Amino acid sequence: MTAAAWWQAFIDSIKSQTATWLVGFVIALLTLFSAKITENIRLALNHADLVSKYYEELAENLSEYRFQAELTVEFVERGWTTAYTLETLIKEYNESVTKLRKKEWVYQSWIRRYWGERPAIAFDQCMDAVKAFDSEVHHLNDEIEAVVITKKKEKFDPGIADAALTRLKPALAALQKCSTNLNRELE
């Protein structure tokens, strides 16, 4: 074999092996990226599922509390404050505020993680409004005790109810506003 033929065979061998190695490298690269792409798609789907699940839970609990707050104001406003009507109202109100407050920090972490800082601030404002309304409801505890527990009265004293409404209505309006704003932030 001449040097030129040997050199040509060597070049052909290098070309053949380079092509083989190049094809293998491309396949490995595609495999690596396809795994990464698949993983990113899986993570995005899991994230979307979690965001949807967390939003639904928070929205349901906040909506329930808002509804109970609205009912509380309506019952006091209309004078529906007999022991019979208050027992269910108080029970459901307390359950809704307890459910919401027990998960306050869980909701806060979800919102920060999945929605960001601005919605987290809106959530904090909303929880402040929840606490403010709840505090105003607690001003009615003496009347509730007199009607429901000790049965010293048949219903709330109208003067006390009117005084409570002057504080409850603005607290309810603030709760309605901030819960609507929070919902917009999370959508």
- How many residues are there in the chain? 187
Angle between helices 3-78 and 158-186 (to 10 degrees): 170
pTM of the model: 0.77
> pLDDT tens digits for 93-102?
999 999 999 9
d(CA 179, CA 176) in angstroms, rounded, equals 5
- Residue 65: its pLDDT value, please? 97
Q: Which of 1-5, 39-43, 48-52, 160-164 has the highest mean pLDDT?
A: 160-164
Amino acid at 133: F
> pLDDT tens digits for 21-36?
777 777 776 677 666 6
Q: Where are the domains of the chain?
A: 50-186
Tokens representing residue 112 in the block: 């920060």
Of the chain, the end-to-end C-alpha distance in Å amounts to 77
> pLDDT tens digits for 106-129?
999 999 998 999 999 999 999 999
> pLDDT tens digits for 37-93?
666 666 655 666 667 888 899 999 999 999 999 999 999 999 999 999 999 999 999
The listed CATH number (1.10.3470, 1.20.1440, 1.20.120, 2.40.128) that belongs to domain 50-186: 1.20.1440
